[in-house]
Amino acid sequence: MQLSLAFITLLVVGEIAATTDYQCWNFKSTNDIRDRYLKAVNKLRTDIVNGMVEGKNGKCPAGKNIYKLFWDCLLENEAQKAVDKCDEKVQAPADLAMVIKKLPLDTCNTNPLFKKTVDEWWNVVKGVDVDQTNPPTSSSALQSFAALAHGDATRIGCAQKNCNGNLFMACMVYNK
């Protein structure tokens, strides 16, 4: 009886600790990487709701109706197509917002780079004057922030590729 209880406890705890199985068919990524992107962006979006996003001259206005993003395997495939071109100037499909970045790859462990890059995309807002009555999304300097912060967005998919020692990372967000 105690052995059965211990096994059930291990099974339940193991399920809680495991990452989500997204069942995406892009074998250039893993569920752990998908989880890292998604959790990083959703945590930052929560900061909008709580009025905790800092701009250059103070906090941005708190957001309302900011949806939690869900992972989308089709958007991941679109992001993979973008990074496969190894070019930061690649264009996103018309109905999607995209953020893309090229980093010199100087480590074998790329896991910390996913959250770091999401933070860099987000933190451009810290260098821009904000108006306390209007969301700061119209400036071209805020393109990456606006793509990730857009309240009506509901889905995201990200991908990465090593291009001759440079790591290209991109996220596609729907709707823009």
pLDDT tens digits along 136-174: 666 788 999 999 999 999 999 999 999 999 999 999 999
Closest CA to 145 of 137, 135, 157, 134: 137
HEC string of 56-116 equals CCEECCCCCCCCCCEECHHHHHHHHHHHHCCCCCCCCCCCCEEEEEEEECCCCCCHHHHHH
Residue 113, pLDDT above cutoff 80: yes
pLDDT bin (cut points 50, 70, 90) of residue 12 is: very low
Whole-prediction pTM value? 0.86
How many helices, marked H, and strands, marked E, lie in the chain? 5, 6
How many CA atoms lie within 13 Å of 126's alpha carbon, on the beta-carbon side? 6
pLDDT tens digits along 34-45: 999 999 999 999
Q: Domain residues of the chain, as ranges? A: 2-174
With beta carbons less than 8 A apart as the criterion, state whether 82 and 157 touch.
Answer: no
Cis peptide leading into 77, omega within 30 of 0? no
Superfamily of domain 2-174, CATH level 4: CAP (3.40.33.10)
Q: What angle do CA 15, 20, 23 make, to 5 degrees?
A: 125
CA torsion 83→85→89→93, rounded to 10°? -70
